[in-house]
A and B are shown apart, each in its own frame.
Chain A
């Protein structure tokens, strides 16, 4: 239960997520365990810096979906904003938002990897 409690402290809405997983907490934790690799693989920042905004948008969009389904609420909110900014052709602001979001994401990933 340590993971769930710590995630709650970081603003993750585990209650909502558990409902989505029909109360199967073992499965939820297993899927949470897959998030760090997924997030690192998608490298939104790298594509933003390279100016490949289409791929950055695609990947931010994917992360929005995944963080939403896992109820990683702070990250979901951040990626939603990044997707909106990229759609509105504002990559600079999107990058700023991402740079603010990264420490939050690092905290959550560290928490997941520790448990």
Chain B
């Protein structure tokens, strides 16, 4: 294993040399004559596994070094040992409160000192490794989660042969519009993390189409009233499907999926489906997916229609030909996607 590095901080050369001699065989040694030099080394990106810190030093004291390490949080990763010829209790208490792991009195027994410091370095190394491992696993889990969602979406694409890349575009457009809204309207309290999750969840907005028979889903002509009523059920059916597989999707993403799936055909004036809810009773993410879903359907060819130009599609949305949308959402849509400037 690679040798760990110990930083020895003491203004007296005799003390530094003594410690360097004791630890030099098992560790790489770096030395600092005062707190300021120590902070420079700690901030240089050098991987330090432990600090042996004198308290009373010119330029910057041991307490100053500990305060610095608290500010940048490195105190959580690097164990600091106070090496002292018995300071006043108040200074030692302050050092402990600032996160020092142990106080070692001069004169010390080198063999004991090596054991004490070696044990703590090993413990911290183990803990830091575990934290890195957990982070790696969490990232991996997130990737798997996303893949699960994409796999489900792919199945719908196979059924609904005309929508092709539709779901991927919806995810991209959702992210663009959500980001625009978070910048324009702080009242929706949208975070980057939330936007990311909504964007992933939007992929599954039409998962319920799996439950719609081919003759309706891929019918070249206009749907009859009964057929349209059946088609509308894809929102509710989607939720049924999702509620059968709650554990394969991250809990947060699942909640967004469920909400978007059910409410991406609701309208601002309450004339949408399946629940007929209105205004901001419809979540902002469902409102966003609703408008980008309509936009993408308009600019794409379908068995029952050819593709509209961007300008025509945008005009149809603004004119309310595809239902009523939240004016705030439309304004953000125009700024990010529509780009007609007619809301400025």
Contact = CB atoms under 8 A, between A and B. Distances in A.
Nearest to A79: B85
A38 interface: yes
B110 A20 contact: yes
A65 B84 contact: yes
Interface in B121-159: none
Q: How many residues of A sit at the interface, in one of the four size bands?
A: 20 to 34
Contact of B14 (A31, A64, A80): A31
A70 B56 contact: no
Contact of A38 (B12, B108, B111): B12
A24 B110 CA distance: 13
5 contacts: A22-B21, A27-B21, A38-B12, A38-B14, A83-B86
Contacts of B85: 61-62, 64-65, 68, 83
Nearest to B58: A58
Contact of A61 (B21, B22, B56, B111): B56
B325 to A, nearest CB: 73
Given A21-B22, A76-B107, A83-B85, 20 more contacts: A20-B107, A20-B108, A27-B17, A31-B14, A31-B18, A34-B13, A34-B14, A58-B56, A61-B85, A62-B11, A64-B85, A64-B106, A65-B15, A65-B54, A66-B12, A69-B18, A69-B106, A69-B108, A70-B14, A80-B86
Interface in A10-31: 16, 19-22, 24, 27, 30-31
Interface string B10-45: 011111011001100000000000000000000000
B109 interface: yes
Contact of A87 (B17, B88, B107): B88
A62 B108 contact: no
Name the prevailing secondary structure of the B interface residues.
Answer: loop
B17 A62 contact: no
Contacts of B21: 21-22, 24, 27
Contact of A20 (B13, B18, B56): B18
Given A21-B21, A24-B21, A69 B14 contact: yes
Nearest to A73: B107
A-side interface mostly: helix
A12 to B, nearest CB: 12
A30 B17 CA distance: 10
B107 A22 contact: no
Interface string A36-63: 0010000000000000000000100110
B106 A21 contact: no
7 tightest Cβ-Cβ pairs between the two chains A and B = A65-B85, A68-B107, A65-B106, A64-B85, A68-B106, A31-B14, A20-B110
Contact of B22 (A22, A34, A70, A71): A22
Contacts of A66: 12, 14-15
A8 to B, nearest CB: 17
Nearest to A67: B107
A111 to B, nearest CB: 17
A34 B21 CA distance: 16
A61 B110 CA distance: 20
Nearest to A62: B12
B107 A71 contact: yes
Interface in B215-240: none
A20 to B, nearest CB: 5
A13 B298 CA distance: 93
B109 to A, nearest CB: 7
B59 to A, nearest CB: 14
B109 A20 contact: yes
A52 B22 CA distance: 36
Contacts of B107: 16, 20, 65, 68-69, 71, 76
Contacts of B12: 38, 62, 65-66
A19 B108 CA distance: 10
Contacts of B106: 64-65, 68-69
B56 A21 contact: no
Contacts of A62: 11-12, 56, 85
